[in-house]
Structures are given as structure tokens and as C-alpha cells.
Structure 1
């Protein structure tokens, strides 16, 4: 693949000192950044110092480009409120210094942008007038590319906007609703990029909202969105699978269905697998994807997320720790690069990082860790099933989500419905858990973070108890053991010492009969990508209308993490 684009996110320095209990890692927390006085001076000095460290480290590892957030906070406009304009002016000044640090390290800069950012004043002046909004956005892009010639290009996200927890006066909202509108946006913007000789990278990631919500996997939607797009300044960026960064997902075949240059998106800081708290190794998955992409994918490079993603309390900062706390993040980040750029095997890439003497023990540890992730965190029988709801592919991991383990009757009932061989699921989980003594031994002999393995072991003890609850006949004694183990876990790993999982336990009955659950799953879920007649009539149209009418997404009956994280469950029904 070399030479190519080897892109890594550089937002870690902006989270230093951000002490929220649960952090939105999807974008730089701009409201946390000081814009005046001594606080500004001290905070931005620390950010610059961290950015020098980060840029030096990732450049030495072999990356040649970084992403930084975001256009909306760096692009002034006459419609902005005075307070917002003043903050943007400060950000432009400070980011100019950040850009200089990155460029001095020999790295190219790409800036992210959600389509489309507004403020209350912009909203009041333009409202929902689509042509004027697109003219407004095009002006932001044009002026930004003119003002910052050191920026190589923009990375556009059209299928997700700011989370419901974001309180910034500059907020993004979903503007593009269909493939036709996506195509019009690209046709409108590409001349601007061609004029400035910059690169437009379009991400196909969506959360399933609106008709464009299936862009990540639906071949006709993608084809219509890219119809007539033929520019040397254009690159398509796609996650490796048809859903978010999960295991058990085959390579997205869309890589081979368009002639455009493409980036494959990978996640080193696994947002659904501990976010660097333990060795959730991606090397063998990367090796498989790289092998498949040697075909006619027209791959231009990789985009690796080493800090971005998720709503959780885990807070390790990639390439910024003064000890080995970011070892698992570095390992994933560097091994992924060497596999895709240098065509190294996993074994050679790991040996090149840890040394040939330690490599056998480290590789054995990583193989065991992969078994634990795939056979204890995930339930293979469920994870391998291809299930779609409306415009999204159902995640292969339901009971462990971000920093939460859910042990409740609703999850139990759902998993018992879909898992066809519960005995096998129980055996696999117990066998995977039995690997921990050897993993602790290997970590100790290799000089790797032993405490990380011990914490993971204690958490996985709860995961295997949860699996027993899911698939064995209910036993009150097991319920008591789960509650006691949760208490012991919290005592062994208090939050003031390190960040740990939240264990959500409730044995209250889920008042949906098994037969009703089966009927609902047949009606609402499908095992094929293509839409059924019932989807066109009910699931995609009438169900969305019913949801908006009764707004259950606002109800406390819906779990808080579905209401208060990301864009909220409402996005699924738009």
C-alpha cells in the first residue's frame, strides 16, 4: 500500500484534566477548553506539550497524517453570536499553533466536520431552508480552506451528529437524509476542494437515521450517493464491517463495489472492549482484512482511531502516558500500521515492537486474550447471526456495552431467544475464563501490565456469572452470588484508583412473554440485507411514525444509556 495515507486521530491531548465521570469520546470537548486569562494560558500550554509528544510518537511509529476536531469551531461566520465568534477566534489562534506543531513533526492534517453545524443565531436566520443551509456550509468550508493552507483536507461525517449530552452553543445536526441529497452535497463541495487542491474524505458511517441511514451497507444507496463523483480530491472512508467497531463482522463488500479511493477505518482503542484497559488485540483481524483488501478495493490507506469513540469512564490517553498504561493502545495502533503498510505478519509486527526474546510469551498472551474477548465477552452463537432492524445491522454484542455489563431479565430473555446452543455458550465462557491464570503468569514474565489482566479477570468473573444467569434455570443463590461478586469487584477496584465497569443488576421480571418476543423479532428483525415487504410498509415507515407520535425515547422506561448517550434511541426511528 505504501506510499499512502496512514491517518490517526490526535484528540487525546484535549482530554487532559477533563474530569467528567463518564466522557463522550466522540469529539474534542470544546466547552472544556479555556478561552481567557491564566486558565487559557496554562491549559493550552499543556495541550501543546502533549501534542508535541503525541505527534513525535506517532510519526516515529510510521503514521503520516492526523485528524483533529473540528471545522465548526474554527470557521467564523457573520451570523454567529458575539460570544460564539469570540470563542472561535481564540480556537483559531490556538489551533494555528497546534497545526504548526503537527506539521513540524512531518504529519499532514485533516480536520473533521459533521454535516451540518449551526448555532441558535444561524438557526434563527436560516431555519430549515436546505439550499441556504448548504450555501452557508459551503462558505464555511471555502473560507476555512483559504485561511488554513496547512490543512490537507476535511473528513466529513454525514450520518451522525453531536450526542444528546453536548451542550455547546455550536451543535451539529443531521442535514443529509437521502442518497440523492448526499450526492448533491458532494457535487456542491468538490469544486471547492478542487479549487484549493485539498482532499474531501467522506465517511459512510451512519447510525441508521433517515433514508441515508443504510449507506454503510446498502449497495444501491451507496451507488446513488456516489453517482457521477469522479474527482482526484475525493476519498471514501469506511469502517471494516457493516456495523460499528465490533468483532464477528465480515469485511464490508462495499470496498469492492465502487472505483473510488478508500480508507479502511480501524479502532485501536476498542470502545466496546475496555478502551485499552486490557489487551483487546486487533492484530489477527487486521491481518485478515488486509489480506482480503489486496484485491480491487483501491485502498488509499487506513484511518485508525486511537482515542475517539464511545461514552464511557475509561480514560487512558494513547501515546501520552508516562508509564505503560497505554501499552495495549500502542500495541494495536502500531501493529495495525505495520500489517497494512509493511505487509508484516502479526508475529513479526509484535516481535518488532516488544523484541524477539519477549515475543513468544506476548503472542501467547494475546492469543489467549483474543479467546477471552471472542468467547466470553461475546457469545459466538449470537454474534455470528446476521440481524437487521430498520436500516442498521444489530450489534453482535448486547450485554456488555461501552462501560456497562447488563445482568437483567430483559437481556436474559433476549439472549435465550436467539442463542440456539446455550450449553455450548456456557462451556466456551468457562473455558475462556480458565485462561486467566496463565495470562497473569505471561504478563508477569513479560513485564507487561499485570494489574490490567487482574482487573480484567475480576470483571470477567462477573461476565461468566452473568452468562450462567442468562442460560441456566434461575437460582436465587446465583443472584446472591452475582450481587456479592459485584460488591467485591467494586471494593477491589475502587473508582478513585482506576476506572472500572459499571455492573447493572436487576432481576425484576421482564413482562414480555417468550411467544410475544418471538413474534416481535420475526416482525421487526430480518436476517437479510434487503428490505422485506413488511419493512417497506411497517418497519421503515409506520413504525417510525408511531415512535415519533408516542416518543418512548423520552420515557424513563427506556434505559438511560439509550436515552442519554450518543444521539439517543430516537435516531433509529428517523
Structure 2
């Protein structure tokens, strides 16, 4: 890791969400710009475009002042008209081209370079008919699209390519992306086919290794063999490989991804300030101590070229706070501030907190903010997560099992399936229940510190009630079942919904799963492993044949999985491809 990194990237999705109208209590997909909601009468609304541009200037003012020099914007598909499109679609694309020209100028005026995102590959029925979903025509069409993009927008610095995940089930509009890359060899052909175009036009090709485990390419984010099959020998100053910091999504209890030390490619580490699995900024969830640890380990990575900080992107939720804009989250802004100070200015987390306090909370005692954020870090790790379970490295097929199973974005899931899993993997059950309830006392101290710092204390009431539900859910998962406990959880959930109608969703189902212990033991032994390396059972069975069993899983999913699982992200079926 060099003394000065070259790229400090922030996502630019927040200004788009600030311009749309939403229903109270509506769940939003924060994974990409909601293009369909920016449009009226099949055109980009001039009024909405104006609001986006104004908020974008405000947002980039703040981001640039922190030291970010690049910003990502969705997406390539909405910026290029292709020959097979009808006139109406091209007219709409021209609306987006005018808006994005304005955004690119605004970013440039603030010393920031725009990187445009794309999935590989986006489709509509015109593209499907043109390519017949075959590799050759698809690569050629993407090359044509990028060539036109680079010619039309000389101010664009490059493209960020996502290849291991596609649009969520709920995405609407003129384009929907799909997974088209299935093998490492196929991925390598795509990269080698497109890279010369980036070299010719002197743009960055940022390839994200993030994947949901689908197909043979699905372990690209952690498997050095797959990584080498894709990137081995493909070296260019125009190619950057972008990794999340761990071998799964943005969770705690993760070691730094070993792929940072593979190959000789320029690399970017992806970090998240707005914690999509830890409250979306509705309460403090400080990341600075973890990120300082990652930075220290990355000192040995000679090829690290930058960081990419997610301040708004990610997840599904009803929460509405927009980073660096009115109704922002102080906690998301602290995470973003501390993150860039750690990586750009080489400050420790404690030094960065103190500097934030002096700048943003003048006259207040930095030691109190340090104490508050330290408590938040410990509280999340002790109660939001379950340490004995979360420390375990478990793998299913090509995926690292998340260290947090009972929180899905803005939903707390309390059911018998999770109870069965955790009771199989957690031994210190009584101690874990007691430690969970004891951790709640930290919120009272945090609330008092917030008052001393002039910070709104009401959010700590919300945090306390939410975390108390999680502590009670832990009692259900690990403790002795009783009808009284079930009634208590139902009563708490009802009171919580009444008090916080736009708070977390509580999905509870105490109906028992009728599977005997010996069957569960056999399933665990077959399906889960504690090392990333594949076993014989994985190679012969799990990686090859589990797709045949998905129809059975689907029947079980309808009966046992919460409804939101079938309506958000890519659906559970992606885990079996």
C-alpha cells in the first residue's frame, strides 16, 4: 500500500432518491437509482431532473470537502441509445444524457471524476432479439455501448462493472439486468474483449468480484483459483479489481479478503458507511475500529489503488435518511468521515473521531464522542450479532454463510428454522442470553453521552426498543420455549409496530419445523463446511446436483421463508444455481 492512494470513491445515489415521491412506510430498493420513478409520461421529468441536479451539487460539495475524488453513478444502459431501440426510448435516453452531462460538469467543478456503473449484462426485449442471449453478440453489443458512451461523455473517468449479481426482482423500467457470466473462462473472455476499448479511450475498467454464488463463477470473490482463472496474466493500468473487504457481504466478524494479496492488479477495497444490515444509520453502528484494522493489514498490499465507500447504496428498507443531504444520518456521516481519514490521512480511528468532533461539534468533549462510538461498536458486535455463531466461518456451496441470519435489511426474523440452526451451532446458550440483555445497558449510557454532545436522544429510545426485541429473539433462539415467551414476543412486536410504524419489520413464526435432530445433524454435515476449500461432497454433489432439488426448496420456501425473501433481491433460487 503506497503512502497516497489514487482513488477515493463515493456512491452518488442519494440525490436521485431525494427527488422522488414515496409512500409512507414503503420499502425501497436502495441498490440502484429508481429510474422508473424519475419519469412521467414515459420521459424523464424536467422537474425531477432539476431536483436531482440541485441535490447532486449539494452532495458533491460535502463529499469533495472530505477528500473524495471520484463518484459512481448508475448506469450505462440509460446513457446510450442503440440502433435497435425505438424512437421513444432514444428520446428518453437523450433526457438522461442532458441530466448526466450536467452532473458530470458539477462533479468536475468540484474536483471529482464520474465513474458510471453497469451490470454485465442489461437487457430489454430489443437487446434480447438482437443478441439471442449469446456471448459473441452480447460482448459486441457491450463494446458498441461503451464506445458510444466514451465518445458522448469525454468527462467520464471509467465504468464499474458488476458481474456476479443482477437487478432485484422488484426493479422496473426500460432495462433489467441478468446474470450472463457462468464460468471463469467466459468471464475472462468478456474482460479481455472489452479491456482494449478502455485502453484506447484511456478510461478505467473497474471489475467488481462481488458474487452471490451462482454458477461456476460464483466463488470469484474469495477463491484464489477462480480469481486466477479470470484475471491471471490480464494486467493493465486501465484495469482495477474491486473487492469487498471480506469474503461475504458487508458484515462484522470478517477477516480481510485474501484476494487483496493475489495477482499484480490494481485493487480497490469496498467499505460501507451506511450499514445495510445494521440499521441503515437509524442508530450508531461505528465501523472505524474495524476499518483501521483492515487498513493496517492492507499495508502489505502493494497494489491497493483506492477505496470505494458506500454511503447510501445497498439493501431494501423503509428508512429514508439520505447521507450528506437534509434528513441525513449523523452516524453514516461519521462512518464516512472516519473511513476516509483512516485511509487518506492515515489517522487512527480515535484521532479521526476527535477531529470530527472538533469540526462538527465545536466546544464538545471528543472523549465523550469516542466513548459513545466505542459503545456502539461493542453493542452491535455483542447483541445485534451473536458472537459464538458470528465468529464461525461456515460455507455452503460457493457462498460464505453470513454471520448474521436473523436480520435481513430492515426485517427482524424470528422463526423456528433459525432457532434450529443456532441451537445446532451455539453451545453457550444461557450465557449468550444473559449477555444479550446485559448489553442493553450500554444504550442508556450512550443516550446520556448524546445529550452531553447536543445530539438528539430520541433515536436511542428507538435503538433500545429495537435491540430489546433482538435480545428477546435471542432468548427464543437459544432458550427454553414456552407459550409465555411466544406471547411476550408477540406483545412486544405489536407495541413496537404501534410506536414505530416505520421502524423494523418483525416477522415471527413459532410453528415448529418437524425435522428430527439426527436429520438436521446429517444435513449440516453434508451442506456446511468450516473451510473455504471444497470437499469431495461439494465437488460431487452440492456444486453439481443441488439445482435439481430447488423445486423442493421452493415449496418449503413458500411455507417457511418470510414473504419478503420472495420479493426482494434476486430470490433464494440464486443460491442453488
Question: Does TM, scored on the shorter chain, surpass 0.5?
Answer: yes
CA distance in 1, matches of 2:555, 2:81: 38
Q: 2:339 aligns with which of 328, 336, 339?
A: 336
* SS of match in other structure, 1:459: helix
- Residue 105 of structure 2 corresponds to 100
- Residue 534 of structure 1 corresponds to 537
Q: 2:116 aligns with which of 111, 117, 126?
A: 111
Deviations 1:237-264 (A, max 9, x none): 0000000000000001110112111110
CA distance in 1, matches of 2:357, 2:227: 41
CA distance in 2, matches of 1:460, 1:14: 31
* Cα distance change of structure 1 residues 553 and 257 upon mapping to structure 2, 3 Å threshold: farther
Q: Please give the TM-score of this superposition, normalised by the length of structure 1.
A: 0.96
CA distance in 2, matches of 1:60, 1:391: 40
- Deviation of 1:296 (Å): 2.8
* SS of match in other structure, 2:541: helix
CA distance in 1, matches of 2:456, 2:332: 12
CA distance in 1, matches of 2:5, 2:371: 32
* Cα distance change of structure 1 residues 551 and 508 upon mapping to structure 2, 3 Å threshold: closer
- Residue 10 of structure 1 corresponds to 12
- Residue 375 of structure 2 corresponds to 368
Q: 1:562 aligns with which of 552, 560, 565?
A: 565
CA distance in 1, matches of 2:283, 2:53: 28
Deviations 1:20-46 (A, max 9, x none): 511111100110112569982221111
- Residue 300 of structure 2 corresponds to 295
- Residue 460 of structure 1 corresponds to 467
- Unaligned 5+ segments in structure 2 are none
- Residue 476 of structure 1 corresponds to 483
Is 1:485 equivalent to 2:492 in the alignment?
Answer: yes
CA distance in 2, matches of 1:300, 1:138: 25
* Cα distance change of structure 1 residues 250 and 332 upon mapping to structure 2, 3 Å threshold: same
Q: Please tell me whether the aligned partners of residues 234 and 261 of structure 1 are also in contact (alpha carbons under 8 angstroms).
A: yes
* Cα distance change of structure 1 residues 308 and 553 upon mapping to structure 2, 3 Å threshold: farther
Q: Which moved more, 1:350-359 or 1:284-293?
A: 350-359
Is 1:148 equivalent to 2:175 in the alignment?
Answer: no
Q: Please tell me whether the aligned partners of residues 44 and 95 of structure 2 are also in contact (alpha carbons under 8 angstroms).
A: no
- Residue 30 of structure 1 corresponds to 35
* SS of match in other structure, 1:201: strand
- Deviation of 1:549 (Å): 8.4
Q: Please tell me whether the aligned partners of residues 553 and 570 of structure 1 are also in contact (alpha carbons under 8 angstroms).
A: no
- Residue 256 of structure 1 corresponds to 261
Q: Please tell me whether the aligned partners of residues 5 and 300 of structure 1 are also in contact (alpha carbons under 8 angstroms).
A: yes
- Residue 355 of structure 2 corresponds to 352
Matches within 5 A, 1:379-418: 379-418=386-425
Deviations 1:297-348 (A, max 9, x none): 41101000000000111121000025xx421111000100000111101111
Q: Please tell me whether the aligned partners of residues 44 and 96 of structure 2 are also in contact (alpha carbons under 8 angstroms).
A: no
CA distance in 2, matches of 1:38, 1:307: 26
Aligned residues: 568
Q: Please tell me whether the aligned partners of residues 104 and 113 of structure 2 are also in contact (alpha carbons under 8 angstroms).
A: no
* SS of match in other structure, 1:152: strand
- Deviation of 1:544 (Å): 1.4
- Deviation of 1:381 (Å): 0.6
Q: Please tell me whether the aligned partners of residues 437 and 468 of structure 2 are also in contact (alpha carbons under 8 angstroms).
A: no
CA distance in 1, matches of 2:349, 2:307: 17
Q: 1:377 aligns with which of 384, 398, 414?
A: 384
Q: Which moved more, 1:211-220 or 1:421-430?
A: 421-430
CA distance in 2, matches of 1:351, 1:326: 18
Q: Please tell me whether the aligned partners of residues 43 and 92 of structure 2 are also in contact (alpha carbons under 8 angstroms).
A: no
CA distance in 1, matches of 2:485, 2:161: 49
Q: Please tell me whether the aligned partners of residues 80 and 119 of structure 1 are also in contact (alpha carbons under 8 angstroms).
A: no
CA distance in 1, matches of 2:268, 2:131: 34
Q: Please tell me whether the aligned partners of residues 10 and 308 of structure 2 are also in contact (alpha carbons under 8 angstroms).
A: yes
Q: Please tell me whether the aligned partners of residues 162 and 566 of structure 1 are also in contact (alpha carbons under 8 angstroms).
A: yes
Q: Please tell me whether the aligned partners of residues 235 and 264 of structure 2 are also in contact (alpha carbons under 8 angstroms).
A: no
- Deviation of 1:522 (Å): 0.8
* Cα distance change of structure 1 residues 249 and 75 upon mapping to structure 2, 3 Å threshold: same
- Residue 198 of structure 1 corresponds to 203
Is 1:128 equivalent to 2:130 in the alignment?
Answer: no
Deviations 1:136-155 (A, max 9, x none): 11111111111110000000
CA distance in 2, matches of 1:488, 1:554: 28
RMSD: 1.7
* Cα distance change of structure 1 residues 241 and 123 upon mapping to structure 2, 3 Å threshold: same
* Cα distance change of structure 1 residues 36 and 209 upon mapping to structure 2, 3 Å threshold: same
* Cα distance change of structure 1 residues 554 and 404 upon mapping to structure 2, 3 Å threshold: closer
Deviations 1:444-503 (A, max 9, x none): 1111231221111011111111111111111222222212211222222233xxxx1011
- Unaligned 5+ segments in structure 1 are none
* SS of match in other structure, 1:236: strand
Deviations 1:399-427 (A, max 9, x none): 11211111222211111111121123113
CA distance in 1, matches of 2:339, 2:62: 15
Q: Please give the TM-score of this superposition, normalised by the length of structure 2.
A: 0.95
Q: Please tell me whether the aligned partners of residues 362 and 446 of structure 1 are also in contact (alpha carbons under 8 angstroms).
A: yes
- Residue 235 of structure 1 corresponds to 240
* SS of match in other structure, 2:39: coil
CA distance in 2, matches of 1:38, 1:93: 12
Q: 2:512 aligns with which of 478, 500, 509?
A: 509
- Deviation of 1:19 (Å): 1.2
* Cα distance change of structure 1 residues 548 and 87 upon mapping to structure 2, 3 Å threshold: farther
CA distance in 1, matches of 2:88, 2:555: 36
Q: Which moved more, 1:73-82 or 1:462-471?
A: 73-82
